A and B are shown apart, each in its own frame.
Chain A
Amino acid sequence: MTAVVEAVNLRKVYMLGKVPVEALRGVNLKVEEGEFLSVLGPSGSGKSTLLNLIGALDRPTSGKVLIDGADISTFNEDRLTDLRRKIGFVFQFFNLIPRFTALENVELPMAIAGLGKEERRKRAVKLLETVGLADRINHKPAELSGGEQQRVAIARALANDPRFLLMDEPTGNIDSKNASEIIELVERLNEEKGVTIIMVTHDQRLAKETHRTVHMLDGLIVDERVNKP
């Protein structure tokens, strides 16, 4: 199997006011195609920072992020933007556009990528069916439950056929019943469609459901465990 994502000696230093904060202190990680990886760790351990760097939302202070073998830290802003279209993001707080319906929210990344109206509508409907929201497509986020909003967000993340999904505490803001449904959905996507997934969480039980779990602490990967073959 080939590595979709590879982090090499990744470092990130933030300036918190005038105090430098080392969020990542040399992280090495490889994610294979079709893998479902969980990143576990307490808050402040640097897992979200890692996700942002892999997702091309931020640049590392030093080290490399390779996506399909290409070092994205050398990319200019435009190429990074293009790359983001090929990465599916799912956030803890859903980050849907409140004034858009579920359908319009799922269409948005396709509109950004320049897809025509009819094509993206057809595809958005299909994606919402996949996540089990066929009957809610014209509802706005405020009219949907947390679990439903996250399903919309997952459908949106899948809109442009991404190379991999990045999930930042996807169930962190959802009750446990809905959370397990979301995880089932994600697992199904991984198993049936072969989507590569990197999920950040601080929930041990959730992490166990994934193929492999890496533990982070103070900006370093301190432990790595294979849950399922």
Chain B
Amino acid sequence: MKPTDVWSYALSAIKLRKLRAALTTLGVVIGIAAIVALLSITQGLQTAIATQLQRGFATDALIVTAGGGLGADTGFSLLVNDTETISQVGNVTTALAIIQRVGYIKNAEGKARRVTIVGVDFKAYKAIYGSTFIAEDGADIPSKPENTAVIVGKRVSDPWGNGTRFCSKSDTVEVIWTNTTARPLRNESYTGMVVAVLQEVGGFSLGGPSDTSIYIPITQAQSFFRTDKCEIIIVKLKSDDKATIESTAKTIRSLFGGQVAVTSAAAVLSIISSVFSTMGLFLAGIAAISLLVAGIGIMNIMIVSLMERTREIGILKALGMKNRTVLLIFLTEAAIIGLMGAIIGVGTGYGLAELVVRIFANGGFGGGLRQGGQVAAANVVRITPVLTPTVFLGAIAFGLVVSLIFALYPAWRASRLKPVEALRYE
């Protein structure tokens, strides 16, 4: 029998039981759709976060924090002028100290917002985060600012994202900090002036500019918070290749007798990326179970079909059809169902992913992460589901293979039917 004839014969058998075929196909659709949706969402999430992190990270930067190991508080603190020591290390172009406190900013109308107050050297910060530490109006950020200068993140200036400004450039604002070491607790404050509003950064950042922070000169931060200690020192390297990153990190660690942790942005990125890959695969694995159920559905349908068509198979054999052709016809029927289900499933899955992402974007997801943190601050992460060619083709192939595997047994049984017995079958 010619392949085209096998195909049209299988198709005619499927058409005979349209509803049944449709329901069986639906099983495959659901399985494939679940896999594709989960994979494309996690892949999209991974891409979105990686992009945001890269913007807020600078891959040629090292982040130095106090504490040699995991959470061990040794009482050691980094000092602002440790940057001078670090600057001496080879491959280092700039070292920058960051002092951070959670505080408030009060506008001219007397309304206050909770923000992260970050003390940095504006000039050095610009040098490291040249792509994100930029004013929204394109004006230069002053390299030698007044002590009262305040730069605010986009979400501080425009908290609701609709143009209603909490504060704007040239506004006078009050910077407030609760001194928790004083007894009784006391609010310290000074009056500053907004010299720039940053353009939107989006997403997470580690050390880099964040939309929910305000920035003040490091010297001002030192006197305002009454400290010489800093939380983070960011080190910009001459190159972002792995060897430079590793050797410099080692040098800096030994410089402080192992009392500091040196994190490379690149390493953090790769960890996060691998976590998301694992998560995606795990979720897709769970989704694959539903495809197995669909496969069992196919097997069930094929066995029923085999019984219904026993006599037909007997006729075909009496007319000289070979066993392998009977096998091929049954497998082709399963392949048609599997392929159809897989193709519709991929489309449905991607559509589903788009839908889920849209629902999350409209409130669900961003809301929880919008609050600014000590080090990493997050805004709404915009996810676009990603359907890679691998996932696309892989899902279709997977649907097809599962369908074929579960059809093997019924098809084999059909091919082994004895013509005389099949013809006698009522």
Contact of B318 among A78, A82, A84 (CB under 8 A): A84
Task: Check if A95 sits within 8 Å of B311, measured CB to CB.
Answer: yes
Task: Check if A57 sits within 8 Å of B420, measured CB to CB.
Answer: yes
Task: Check if B5 sits within 8 Å of A84, measured CB to CB.
Answer: no
Per the bound structure, the CA–CA distance linking A61 and B320 in Å amounts to 22
Q: Which residues of B contact A99 (CB under 8 A)?
A: 12-13, 15-16
B323: interface (CB < 8 Å): yes
Task: Check if A100 sits within 8 Å of B322, measured CB to CB.
Answer: no
Per the bound structure, the CA–CA distance linking A57 and B318 in Å amounts to 7
A3 to chain B minimum Cβ distance, whole angstroms, is: 22
A85: interface (CB < 8 Å): yes
Q: Which residues of B contact A144 (CB under 8 A)?
A: none
Knowing A57-B423, A112-B325 are in contact, say whether A81-B320 is a contact too (CB < 8 A): yes
Task: Check if B315 sits within 8 Å of A97, measured CB to CB.
Answer: yes
Task: Check if A78 sits within 8 Å of B315, measured CB to CB.
Answer: no
Residue from A82, A84, A91, A160 with most neighbouring chain B CB atoms (10 Å):
A84
Determine the interface band of chain A, counting residues with CB < 8 A from chain B. Answer: 20 to 34
Contact with A along B309-341 (1 / 0, CB 8 A): 001101111111111010000000000000000
Knowing A57-B419, A112-B1 are in contact, say whether A95-B320 is a contact too (CB < 8 A): no
| B 1-57 contacts with A by CB, 8 A | 1-2, 5, 9, 12-13, 15-16
B418: interface (CB < 8 Å): yes
Q: Which residues of A contact B423 (CB under 8 A)?
A: 57, 91, 95
A178: interface (CB < 8 Å): no
A167: interface (CB < 8 Å): no
Contact of A114 among B2, B314, B316, B419 (CB under 8 A): B2
B314 to chain A minimum Cβ distance, whole angstroms, is: 8
Q: Which residues of A contact B15 (CB under 8 A)?
A: 99
Q: Which residues of B contact A100 (CB under 8 A)?
A: 12
Per the bound structure, the CA–CA distance linking A81 and B322 in Å amounts to 6
In the complex, number of A-B residue pairs with CB atoms less than 8 Å apart: 60
A131: interface (CB < 8 Å): no
A134 to chain B minimum Cβ distance, whole angstroms, is: 23
Per the bound structure, the CA–CA distance linking A112 and B320 in Å amounts to 7
| A 86-131 contacts with B by CB, 8 A | 89, 91, 95, 97, 99-100, 108-109, 111-114, 116
Task: Check if B323 sits within 8 Å of A77, measured CB to CB.
Answer: yes
Q: Which residues of B contact A113 (CB under 8 A)?
A: 320
A54 to chain B minimum Cβ distance, whole angstroms, is: 12
A58: interface (CB < 8 Å): yes
Task: Check if B321 sits within 8 Å of A112, measured CB to CB.
Answer: yes
Contact with A along B42-86 (1 / 0, CB 8 A): 000000000000000000000000000000000000000000000
Q: Which residues of A contact B319 (CB under 8 A)?
A: 84-85, 89, 108-109, 112, 156
Task: Check if B419 sits within 8 Å of A58, measured CB to CB.
Answer: yes
| A 52-66 contacts with B by CB, 8 A | 52, 55, 57-58
A73 to chain B minimum Cβ distance, whole angstroms, is: 15
Per the bound structure, the CA–CA distance linking A141 and B187 in Å amounts to 95
Per the bound structure, the CA–CA distance linking A57 and B5 in Å amounts to 24
Per the bound structure, the CA–CA distance linking A57 and B13 in Å amounts to 24
Task: Check if B322 sits within 8 Å of A78, measured CB to CB.
Answer: yes
> B324's closest neighbor in chain A, by CB?
A78
Task: Check if B311 sits within 8 Å of A84, measured CB to CB.
Answer: no
Task: Check if B315 sits within 8 Å of A112, measured CB to CB.
Answer: no
Per the bound structure, the CA–CA distance linking A60 and B152 in Å amounts to 96
Task: Check if B2 sits within 8 Å of A89, measured CB to CB.
Answer: no
Q: Which residues of B contact A77 (CB under 8 A)?
A: 323
> A14's closest neighbor in chain B, by CB?
B420
Task: Check if B420 sits within 8 Å of A85, measured CB to CB.
Answer: no
Q: Which residues of B contact A81 (CB under 8 A)?
A: 317, 320-323
Per the bound structure, the CA–CA distance linking A55 and B5 in Å amounts to 25
Task: Check if B315 sits within 8 Å of A95, measured CB to CB.
Answer: yes
Per the bound structure, the CA–CA distance linking A219 and B47 in Å amounts to 79
Residue from B16, B312, B315, B318 with most neighbouring chain A CB atoms (10 Å):
B318
> A100's closest neighbor in chain B, by CB?
B12
Task: Check if A58 sits within 8 Å of B320, measured CB to CB.
Answer: no
| A 37-63 contacts with B by CB, 8 A | 52, 55, 57-58
> B422's closest neighbor in chain A, by CB?
A57
Task: Check if A85 sits within 8 Å of B320, measured CB to CB.
Answer: yes
Per the bound structure, the CA–CA distance linking A109 and B419 in Å amounts to 15
A91 to chain B minimum Cβ distance, whole angstroms, is: 7
Per the bound structure, the CA–CA distance linking A85 and B320 in Å amounts to 5
B413 to chain A minimum Cβ distance, whole angstroms, is: 16
Task: Check if B420 sits within 8 Å of A97, measured CB to CB.
Answer: no
Q: Which residues of A contact B312 (CB under 8 A)?
A: 97
* 15 pairs from A and B in contact (CB 8 Å cutoff): A52-B420, A57-B317, A57-B318, A78-B322, A81-B320, A89-B318, A89-B319, A95-B315, A95-B423, A99-B12, A111-B1, A111-B2, A112-B320, A114-B1, A156-B319
Given A95-B315, A114-B1, 11 other A-B residues pairs in contact with their CB atoms under 8 A: A78-B322, A81-B323, A84-B318, A84-B320, A95-B311, A97-B312, A99-B15, A111-B1, A111-B9, A112-B321, A112-B325
Interfacial residues, chain B to chain A (CB-CB below 8 A): 1-2, 5, 9, 12-13, 15-16, 311-312, 314-323, 325, 418-420, 423
Interfacial residues, chain A to chain B (CB-CB below 8 A): 52, 55, 57-58, 77-78, 81-85, 89, 91, 95, 97, 99-100, 108-109, 111-114, 116, 156, 160
Ranked nearest first, the 10 interchain pairs of A and B with the lowest CB-CB distance are A85-B320, A84-B320, A109-B319, A57-B419, A58-B420, A111-B5, A95-B315, A112-B321, A57-B420, A81-B322
